[in-house]
A and B are shown apart, each in its own frame.
Chain A
Amino acid sequence: MVGVANVSRIEQQSTLHGTEELVINMGPQHPSTHGVLRVILKLDGETVNDLDCDIGYLHRGTEKIGENINYTMFIPYTDRLDYIAAPSNNLAWVTAVEKFFDWEIPMRAQYIRSMVGELSRIASHLLWLATHALDIGAMTVFLWCFREREMVLDLFETAFGGRLTVNAFRLGGLHEDVPDKFLQLTQEFADIFPSRVDDYETLLTNNRIWLQRTRDVGIISAEDAMDLGLTGPIIRGSGVKWDLRRAKPYAAYPYLDFVVPIGENGDIYDRYLVRIEELRQSIYIIQQCLEQLPGGPVSCKTPRTIKPPEGEIYHSIENPKGEFGFYIVSDGTTTPYRVRIRPPSFINLGGLKKLCVGQLVADVVAIIGSIDIVLGECDR
């Protein structure tokens, strides 16, 4: 219904001028649009002349919901935004709300938050690698990645009970301490995972076809990336050394050591390398968390009803997809007056046109894959 109604500008133009260009409709049921994204491509042969994105198929009014329920109740809703990396969203929300208060979050909770945040980054990057490789035709990587993603989801299940939408954190810390088994399994995972990343790289990094398909395709310069508001691995792929975990540290990141990987050319291959390196860095962070994990409580004393003082805050974290933030206006009651989600996928997808025009259809698929979008968070 939405599709029929949203007759796009491109379609109208093409019928008006009777042009011979081929207008094809990629999605919302296309295997490579990673969800219900509809891209209307205007092709000259196989070259993309123009494109238009039609989004909103998954719009659920999450911001509106957030303005009508209290601060704690909104945590599970954040799971449903970037459902590939749900704990990251929880982390963004709880740290944002905690900014209103001067609570002392126990270090154990902070470390577990960082650790679970990194696990969710691994889960997200694995799904990205799996589908991105599949888009370019390397289907074996897909299942290899899912083997490890399954392990991460099992870890979530051990710690929080949920697998995909985990509702991991609470305002002021965690709901309860994670079981010892979780730490033990995480250690096991951290031990084997680096060799698995090597496996993926064997199939792709030096593969000539992979290089031909990803190098010098979908190039974006650092200036353009800033102009388009691209964040996360995309802007790092373009050579901007900027990671919110370093720039505006939160949770336990001030105490953790890691490298922010950057690319040089800003093409698909650089974004691939950046994310692969982030997988390794995440494991490194998790290992540090496991070593340094302090004991003690996992939650500070919080009031029964969360009533932030009047005011407005913006707080964002480094989601696997980019800068994921919340702008919250509090009117001093138990429900926020205004909740705004700063969606990295939505804004990164806005750069799709710039990246794709002049490329081939096959590259569009690769570029969408390299942007790494999640429509749940894009449409909210």
Chain B
Amino acid sequence: MPDEVVENSEETNGAPDSEESAEEIAEAVKTPPGEDLKEVVESAFPGAVLEQSAYEDDEDEATFVLDVDSIVAVCTHLRDHGDALFKLLTDLTAAHYPEAEDPFEMLYHLYSFEHNRRLRLKVRIKEGRAVPTVSGVWTSADWMEREVYDLFGIEFEGHPDLRRILLPDNWGSHPMRKDYPLEGRGERIYTKPKRKEIGE
């Protein structure tokens, strides 16, 4: 049974500034998680953070809800600002809440190598509303936005190459929506592809 945690020496440490993160955690007890990041955002875009939350005050679960139109500007700011430096777009996805006023929720999970912390951004949109693409901010968003388009049917404004990625091009519906039936045959508005003849 180990008595103590192996010291994360500089040599073996994947996370730089472990002392600083300890301070941050101590600070987070007083303020809600992500408060400092909120200040970073608010300093450039006052009022951009519509809501702030975190699951069980976990620093890594800090969540900001943003307005759909400010997403690209805020993301760029968060990527470049020295106190944030969210250089990695860990994940980009969506969730569907059919009963909600804004049924779709875009989710951006960011990670900062320098500060070893995560941040979740949310954008709530109505059906049919296109979201500005963040593929200009992080190239990795290219495929992930294609996947969201494929599975949720959310369109992205300014996306360089918005095609379906996992499903066939002519798949009629978007299976990750909650109203997509789990069994039966009629739900898939699937048009049979016109097969090219060999040599056509």
A and B touch in the complex (CB under 8 A): yes
B139 at the interface (CB under 8 A from A): yes
Would A340 and B168 count as touching, CB distance under 8 A? Answer: no
Q: How far is the CB of B176 from chain A (nearest CB, A)?
A: 6
B107 at the interface (CB under 8 A from A): yes
Would B12 and A9 count as touching, CB distance under 8 A? Answer: no
Q: How far is the CA of A4 from the CA of B191 in the complex (A)?
A: 13
| B 108-157 contacts with A by CB, 8 A | 109, 113, 116, 118, 120, 138-140, 142-144, 147, 151
Q: How far is the CB of A350 from chain B (nearest CB, A)?
A: 4
Would B140 and A241 count as touching, CB distance under 8 A? Answer: no
Given known contacts A327-B109, A379-B166, A228 and B139 CB-to-CB distance under 8 angstroms: yes
The number of A-B residue pairs with CB atoms under 8 Å apart is: 144
Q: How far is the CA of A86 from the CA of B43 in the complex (A)?
A: 45
B5 at the interface (CB under 8 A from A): yes
Q: How far is the CB of B81 from chain A (nearest CB, A)?
A: 15
Would A6 and B168 count as touching, CB distance under 8 A? Answer: yes
Would B107 and A56 count as touching, CB distance under 8 A? Answer: no
Given known contacts A6-B168, A227-B139, A255 and B5 CB-to-CB distance under 8 angstroms: yes
Among candidates A1, A4, A258, A325, residue contacting B12 with C-beta atoms closer than 8 Å:
A258
The residue of chain A having its C-beta at the shortest distance from the C-beta of B8 within the complex is A246
Would A313 and B61 count as touching, CB distance under 8 A? Answer: yes
Among candidates B61, B88, B139, B175, residue contacting A314 with C-beta atoms closer than 8 Å:
B61
Q: How far is the CA of A231 from the CA of B90 in the complex (A)?
A: 9
Given known contacts A254-B5, A260-B14, A342-B91, A64 and B176 CB-to-CB distance under 8 angstroms: yes
Would A227 and B87 count as touching, CB distance under 8 A? Answer: yes
Q: How far is the CB of A91 from chain B (nearest CB, A)?
A: 18
Among candidates A6, A327, A347, residue contacting B140 with C-beta atoms closer than 8 Å:
A347
Q: How far is the CA of A99 from the CA of B56 in the complex (A)?
A: 10
Chain A residues positioned under 8 Å from B5 (CB to CB): 254-255
Chain B residues positioned under 8 Å from A229 (CB to CB): 88-90, 138-140, 144
A63 at the interface (CB under 8 A from B): yes
Other than the known A248-B15, A311-B55, A312-B120, what 5 A-B pairs have Cβ atoms closer than 8 Å? A59-B167, A61-B175, A229-B89, A245-B14, A342-B109
Report, nearest first, the 3 A-B pairs whose CB atoms are least far apart: A229-B140, A246-B14, A56-B166
What are 14 A-B contacts defined by CB distance under 8 Å? A1-B168, A5-B170, A56-B168, A61-B175, A107-B1, A227-B139, A228-B139, A231-B88, A240-B113, A242-B14, A254-B5, A314-B109, A327-B107, A327-B109
